[in-house]
Amino acid sequence: MPGRRVVAFVSAAELGPALARLIVSRAEKAVSSGAPSFSLGLSGGSLVSILSKELPAVPDLDCSRWLVGFCDERLVPYDDPESTYGLYKNQLFSKLNLPDDRILAINPSLPVQQCAEDYASKLSKAFNTQETPVFDMLLLGMGPDGHTCSLFPEHPLLQEKQKTVASISDSPKPPPQRVTLTLPVVNAARCVVFVSTGGSKASVLKALLEGGDGPVLPAALVAPTQGELFWLVDEPAAASLTLDVERAGPGAKL
Ligand SMILES: O=C1O[C@H](COP(=O)(O)O)[C@@H](O)[C@H](O)[C@H]1O
């Protein structure tokens, strides 16, 4: 795929600081271009601990102009260990100078469909548009089944073209009720970064990046129309790949 960069790091410990540098560089680019904010969409899962370790370690990081949303979220109270917002609030946001009103979170007390509509209207307001919001950067994970956000293999939500945010009540990965950005929003972003680490991702990563039998995996449908696409992986995840992969050393700047 033209423009896609697949970058392999020896370990997740080397990948983390490079990811933090990439976020900071795109934040500086957005802010210096005169944009009112740097809009960043976070995913849950393994990204929570990577970001919670790496971002607070960036010297003098100024997040006062960041606008942070969620690529997907589980419909559980904030104090539930499955709440992505709850995890970031405790592990990351409390360590950054990120004002509360710059964080766009779901309202988990609403029924799931209303919750998705409510989150969509928060995005519309924050991005000041009735059209597709364009995030400066989205950070995505990929499950071992090839799902990303809460977009699962062979699920009808993969066909969603109108909504910016959708609800799902039958997520194959618990908890079953979630809200998720849709593919049109993901593919409108200026920069999309997948982070995939560990040997459990090796076979799906190969199928996804090199093609394979079976239905198209949700993560393979991520192809930003104008933006950059990065796959940051560690050696265990990259172990089965035969395509050309950039090898990055410590201190790599992307
Ligand atoms: O359930 C989810 O899983 C994916 C992938 O998580 P990972 O731990 O395999 O990286 C995550 O991106 C998504 O936000 C989350 O809701």
Mean pLDDT of 100-127: 98
Answer for the pair 215, 153: CB distance below 8 angstroms, yes or no. yes
Q: Which residue CA neighbors atom 2 of ligand 1 most closely?
A: 45
pLDDT of the residue at 3: 80
pLDDT of the residue at 79: 98
Q: Quick one: pLDDT band at residue 213, thresholds 50, 70, 90?
A: confident
pLDDT of the residue at 233: 98
Q: Quick one: pLDDT band at residue 212, thresholds 50, 70, 90?
A: confident
pLDDT of the residue at 249: 81
**Is the model's pLDDT at 112 over the cut of 90?**
yes
- 158-165: which pairs have CB atoms within 8 A and are 24 or more residues apart? 158/183, 158/218, 158/221, 160/184, 163/116, 163/120, 164/120, 164/123, 164/124, 164/132, 164/133, 165/116, 165/117, 165/119, 165/120, 165/123
Instruction: Find the 34 Cα to ligand 1 centroid distance in Å.
Output: 33
Q: Summarize pLDDT for 33-76 with one digit per residue, the tens.
A: 999 999 999 999 999 999 999 999 999 999 999 999 999 999 99
Mean pLDDT of 132-151: 97
Q: Summarize pLDDT for 2-25 with one digit per residue, the tens.
A: 789 999 999 999 999 999 999 999
Q: Is 16 helix (H, G, I), strand (E, B) or coil?
A: helix
Per-residue tokens: 7: 């970058």
**Is the model's pLDDT at 252 over the cut of 90?**
no
User: How far from 143 is each of 65, 77, 92, 140, 214, CA to CA, in Å?
Assistant: 31, 23, 22, 10, 16
User: How far from 167 is each of 28, 58, 206, CA to CA, in Å?
Assistant: 33, 35, 29
pLDDT of the residue at 96: 97
Instruction: Find the 194 Cα to ligand 1 centroid distance in Å.
Output: 11
Ligand 1 cavity residues, CB under 6 Å: 43-46, 71-72, 140-143, 150, 173
Instruction: Find the 32 Cα to ligand 1 centroid distance in Å.
Output: 31
Instruction: Find the 175 Cα to ligand 1 centroid distance in Å.
Output: 12
- State the closest ligand 1 atom to the C-alpha of 46, by its place in the atom list counted from 1: 8
Crossing angle for the helix pair 47-54 and 84-91, to the nearest 10 degrees: 20
State the amino acid at position 19 in one-letter form. Answer: L
SS (H, E, C) 67-110: EEEECEEECCCCCCCCCHHHHHHHHCHHHCCCCHHHECCCCCCC
**Is the model's pLDDT at 227 over the cut of 90?**
yes
Q: Summarize pLDDT for 114-123 with one digit per residue, the tens.
A: 999 999 999 9
Q: What is the CA radius of gyration of the chain?
A: 17
Q: Quick one: pLDDT band at residue 220, thresholds 50, 70, 90?
A: very high
pLDDT of the residue at 1: 77
Residue 101 CB partners (closer than 8 Å, separation 6+):
none
Q: Which residue CA neighbors atom 3 of ligand 1 most closely?
A: 45
Q: Quick one: pLDDT band at residue 203, thresholds 50, 70, 90?
A: very high
The three-point CA angle 251-244-223 to 5° equals 85
User: How far from 95 is each of 41, 47, 88, 90, 233, CA to CA, in Å?
Assistant: 18, 16, 10, 9, 26
Instruction: Find the 114 Cα to ligand 1 centroid distance in Å.
Output: 23
User: How far from 85 is each of 105, 122, 171, 201, CA to CA, in Å?
Assistant: 7, 15, 18, 24
SS (H, E, C) 180-219: EECHHHHHHCCEEEEEECCHHHHHHHHHHHHCCCCCCCHH
Mean pLDDT of 211-219: 88
Decide if the complex's ipTM is over 0.95: yes
